[in-house]
Amino acid sequence: SGSVIVFQDFTDARTLQRELAHAAAHDSLTGLANRATLMNAISGLAQTAAQAGKQHLLLYVDLDNFKSVNDTGGHAAGDLLLRQVAATIKAMVRPDDLVARLGGDEFAVILKNRVQLIGEDLARTIVAAVGDLGFEHDGETYRIGASIGVAAIGPQGAAVDEIMARADHACYEAKAAGRG
């Protein structure tokens, strides 16, 4: 009689699985959450907000004058600037808030358990911080700005698409009113 003992190392497989899960949920350029992750978070928060009577906020951030960076400095400059903007926004929120890149030059922030006035104040702070970024590339200095729309994720129980549309519309109104 005999025995056969087989050892198998799953370390590589588990590492690959973690990497794939991270890639599926995050933007590859900035490392922020991606649109799908944001939408899932909004959906979950909308449901719990309706049940618990809590309010969260969605900030829809669209960069102003970003196209000129890509047009004159190239996509490499634009990518560097997007990473810098992502880091700037991420540094301004609490660890349990969510910052996501929607694509292109659009970002979103979920502020958990915050009231409208706090969100509007933070939006103004983000606008100022992005406007103060002195981005240099190949001897050129670029100035961009940000416009932000704020929408509640609250006990009214709105659908995810409706919440996104409200935040996007508020951002559009900010751009139309002179940006910021």
Torsion over CA: 134, 137, 138, 142 (sign): negative
For 74, phi and psi rounded to 5 degrees?
A: 90, 170
137-141: long-range pairs with CB below 8 Å, 24+: 137/69, 137/73, 137/76, 137/77, 137/80, 137/81, 138/73, 138/77, 140/72, 140/73
105 is a catalytic site residue: yes
Q: Which helix (H) or strand (E) holds 82?
A: helix 75-91
Question: Which entry of 64, 97, 105, 168 is annotated as an active-site residue?
Answer: 105
Contacts for 170 with CB less than 8 Å, ≥ 6 apart? 60, 148, 149, 150, 151
CA distance 99 to 51: 24
- Which amino acid does the sequence have at 4? V
- Cβ atoms of 108 and 165 closer than 8 Å: no
- Hey, which residues are catalytic here? 105
